A and B are shown apart, each in its own frame.
Chain A
Amino acid sequence: QKEVEQDPGPLSVPEGAIVSLNCTYSNSAFQYFMWYRQYSRKGPELLMYTYSSGNKEDGRFTAQVDKSSKYISLFIRDSQPSDSATYLCAFHKTGFQKLVFGTGTRLLVSP
């Protein structure tokens, strides 16, 4: 079983839609949860960083963590064509700096 499962997509939505991106993980030692956005041929850019279960909001982005289900989500409200990118979930354990990434979900937002 992979440590992290993420649907590769592509996920195609019209501009203005609410987007839901998800990852499941199997390692209960993961304590830190991140979402990165990666545009084509660019480095991953940190979007959201959370520690505990619950929701964290930043502008149009909301990160949700459910540790009991080992499931994390990223919601994007009022999606824009500029949100078209690959979204990577990432995890690490306390005291261990290595990030474990999902394979990424490609999102396409059409005008």
Chain B
Amino acid sequence: DSGVTQTPKHLITATGQRVTLRCSPRSGDLSVYWYQQSLDQGLQFLIQYYNGEERAKGNILERFSAQQFPDLHSELNLSSLELGDSALYFCASGPRTGSQETQYFGPGTRLLVL
């Protein structure tokens, strides 16, 4: 158990809908990272937050957004969903930014868009 929690475990929804994925980092970690894992693209970095502020952006679509709250949990919002958004979404946490660090992954949310 990495100490990172994610809810829900599974989500089934329809195209055009909006969903919210939630992540709680390990105790003491200030950084939260979101990744998308699909069969054809592998694990792709989406976005990073550090202590409530956005720090880095990767291949995140404009239809997707995220935020980190004062209690350090984070939410990833996916809107106008398309079939191709079906994937595993992982959250990872790490202790600090700007230095070498490891990232610990949560169990993921499996999203299926029908």
Contacts and interface: CB of A to CB of B under 8 A. Distances in A.
B94 interface: yes
A46 B103 contact: yes
Interface residues of B, number: 29
Interface string B66-95: 000000000000000000000000101010
Interface residues of A, number: 24
Given A41-B110, A97-B55, A99-B45, A46 B102 contact: yes
Which of A43, A101, A104 is most buried by chain B, counting CB atoms within 10 A of its CB?
A: A43
Interface of A: 31-32, 34, 36, 41-46, 49, 51, 88, 94-104
Interface of B: 2, 4, 31, 33, 35, 42-45, 48, 55-56, 58, 90, 92, 94, 97-108, 110
